[in-house]
Amino acid sequence: MSKKKYDLVVIGGGPGGYVAAIRASQLGLNTALVEYENLGGVCLNWGCIPTKALLKTAEVYRHIKNAEKYGLKVSEVEYDLDKIVGRSRNIAGQLSTGVTGLLKKNNVEVIKGFGRLLGDGRINVARDQASSFDFSAENIIIASGARARVLSGLEPDGELIWTYKEAMTPDIMPKKLLVVGSGAIGIEFASFYNTLGAEVTVIEVLPHILPAEDIEISELARKLFEKDGIDFITKAKLTSFKKKKETLTALINIDEKAHELDFDRAIMAVGIQGNHENLGLENTMVKVEKGHIVTDLWNATAETGVYAIGDIVGPPWLAHKASHEGIICVERIAGKKKTHPLDKNKIPGCTYSYPQIASVGYTEAQAIEKGFDIKVGRFPFVGNGKAIALGEPEGLIKTIFDASNGELLGAHMIGAEVTELIQGYSIGMTLETTEAEIIETVFPHPTLSEMMHESVLNAYERAIHY
């Protein structure tokens, strides 16, 4: 093993790393993947997939509780928390096993252990404190991912103060839950626990929840979440916790006044930070700024032959962004001529709460700030027959166009299944579509997708049903 040399070694087996390794092998590169925990990374094992399993359970539970509006009679609805968690963990395990199979199928050698760069293309892999070995590679991709950000003095303890891991494997259903942070992760957990009966309060230091979203969508989201029972405190700063045996008190500054609020549990969802420590970067020219590895458009670092992809290189911290970076990076290494750098403005973002939220491209404020003369279209769910038939009449689809040439600049949605609808606009942006092509496209009836058409029509004063 120590004498073996690879064309490419990927450090980290998350959605960026394992996809990069598979694509590299497809292109004929002798490839190895180093991973010290579970294949699939945080996304598959502790993020994207298991949280969606939990949220699906919450959705089914919500529908059963509201069965009467569909003409059904159901009584004594209960849930089994252990089985809910068990289903989520089983799904994560199933998919991790699937990644193992994909790597084997594509002849990627998986090396179990913690990878560390030694410089000059050399890598050390430690399997434990007493066992390690070295090998080398022409090219190295760092896909080490990220972990939950920890605030000084507010560190999770795994009991009263949870990270995403404890929040996904709860031993109790809190009666009163505090969620710190209103980004996608915080909102998804707030939605899950609220649906299952917890009294949820979300605090956010900024003036608006979901601060990355278009302000109109953010404000509508807050209105709908509050209608569903979630409490929000914005422009608030958590300063400390007072822990008791089974509960805790949160000290929160609101409008420069100190408040004490009691909860059973708290979930810290204040962002993530890159895993750049202990990678041996000091043995290379690789630069780290603000906790992330610095790369160019092709994900190359300052060290020749060393690349970095995914969460470790910065936002947006999304699995699909990491996967695409991995493919672009590998195709560049392999010398494919038609490779294009990733346009981060065309990466869709999704929040799988109730209601769902999805977006791609510029918000209205960003488009105006960049100097575009814009046309904005809107279409509400209440005007769509399929949404009404589904019992999901609350939501909005918003589209933003360059008034000078009809270019689709951004799209923002809230409502049922918008995380599935957003890809339509993503494809349109990739194809550099204008309003003309979308208007001329025939959308099937009755579908939620018709609202995408109507929103574009509305931007050009041609809406039929609004």
Q: What is the pLDDT of residues 41-54, one digit of tens each?
A: 988 999 899 999 99
Tokens 């993503």 locate to 426
CATH number at residue 121: 3.50.50.60
Same domain for 444 and 388, yes or no, is yes
Contacts of 127 (CB under 8 A, 6+ apart): 112, 113, 114
Same domain for 137 and 168, yes or no, is no
CA distance 149 to 139: 30
Q: What is the mean pLDDT of residues 8-36?
A: 97
Q: Tens digit of pLDDT for each residue in 421-432?
A: 999 999 999 999
The yes-or-no answer on residue 445 being catalytic is: yes
Q: Tens digit of pLDDT for each residue in 390-421?
A: 999 999 999 999 999 999 999 999 999 999 99
Last residue of a domain, one of 292, 312, 344: 344
Tell me phi and psi for residue 101, to 5 degrees: -65, -40
**Choice among 51-55, 108-112, 124-128, 177-181 with the minimum mean pLDDT:** 124-128
Same domain for 421 and 438, yes or no, is yes
- Is residue 3 left, alpha or beta, with left meaning phi > 0 and alpha meaning psi from -120 to 50? alpha
CB atoms within 10 A of CB 207: 10
- On whether the CB atoms of residues 450 and 443 are closer than 8 A, the answer is yes
Q: What is the DSSP letter of 382?
A: G
Q: What is the DSSP letter of 444?
A: P
Residue in 412, 445, 453, 465 annotated catalytic: 445
How many distinct structural domains can be found in the chain?
3
In the Cβ-directed half-sphere of 409, how many Cα atoms lie within 13 Å? Answer: 25
CA distance 321 to 313: 11
pLDDT band at 338 (very low <50, low <70, confident <90, very high): confident
pLDDT of 256:
84
Last residue of a domain, one of 253, 270, 287: 270
DSSP string, 21-56: HHHHHHTT--EEEEESS-TTHHHHHHSHHHHHHHHH
Residue 466 falls within a domain, yes or no? no
Residue 71 falls within a domain, yes or no? yes
pTM of the model: 0.95
Same domain for 309 and 359, yes or no, is no
> Angle CA(62)–CA(64)–CA(65) in degrees, nearest 5?
65
449 is in which domain, residue-wise? 355-459
**Choice among 1-15, 258-272, 439-453 with the minimum mean pLDDT:** 1-15
